[in-house]
Structure 1
Amino acid sequence: MTRETVQAYHRARFDGDVPAAAAQLAGTFSFESPLMKSGDAHGHLAGLAAFVGVVTGVEMISDLYGESEATLVYDVHTATPVGVQRTAEHFRLRDGKIESITLIFDATRRHPVPAAATARPDARDVETAG
């Protein structure tokens, strides 16, 4: 049952089908990623249309299933400067529904990078400090 539930959610999410994705989530649900947290299904799925709008493809690398958990590793191809985003997603299930998702990816390219001059001391200052 874990495999069917997670695959149904994954398909629905990347198809942009909010009702079908929501149908796989438990009444008490939480989501966490490097960019956001949500304590309910509505908050989690609210930005789905915008996300799916930039996805050009999904390439599954690995999917592992246990009795009440699953882990997917996949590449999300996007029409953004990020390009391909390697992603790991861990699911916990209870009574056949997904109760939590932890999404893991390197968000560095999604955040502004501070100027190098303000992020580190001037090299001359380092030489004289020692």
Structure 2
Amino acid sequence: MTTTAQTVRGYHEARFRGDVAAAAAHLAEPFSFRSPFIRSTDPVGHLAGLPEFVKIVTDVDLISELYGEAEATLVYDVHTATPAGVQRTAEHFRLDDSGKITTIMLIFDAAPWQPMAQLMT
């Protein structure tokens, strides 16, 4: 479980620092990502919007970490400088035999983000 925890925490911390290269180093090929707004099968595409996203993040409070041999779940609050405010988020990860992340499923209430998403399209 140490490798799982190191990989997932490494990815999580790099992502919220806005360090695309460090976050990408934890992702496998093939890879898939799914959230209420985005689906991606490409690590580069998945992380493409990261620099802009972290600009609106003011803080992250990790609430819970659950680790298994090849999977993990993080629950955290993302504090944003947007009308959405604080976003409670759950993120589930699956890892391959090499210890890299193959899938990420991001779960959150997308309703507060709908007005902003419509403005961006």
One of 90, 97, 101 as aligned partner of 1:98: 101
What RMSD in Å do the two structures reach over aligned CA positions? 0.5
Partner of 2:78: 76
1:110 CA drift (Å):
1.1
For structure 2, the residue ranges without an aligned partner over 5 or more in a row are 116-121
Distance in 1 between residues matched to 2:15 and 2:48, nearest whole Å: 11
Give percent identity, aligned residues only: 67
Partner of 1:66: 68
Which AA in structure 2 matches 1:96? G
1:27 CA drift (Å):
1.5
One of 1, 10, 18 as aligned partner of 2:12: 10
For structure 1, the residue ranges without an aligned partner over 5 or more in a row are 113-130
What pairs up with 1:1-130 in 2 under 5 angstroms? 1-94=3-96, 95-112=98-115
1:109 CA drift (Å):
1.0
Which AA in structure 2 matches 1:73? V
Larger radius of gyration: 1
Which AA in structure 1 matches 2:16? F
TM-score, scaled relative to structure 2: 0.91
Which aligned segments of 4 or more residues in structure 1 are displaced greater than 2 angstroms?
A: none
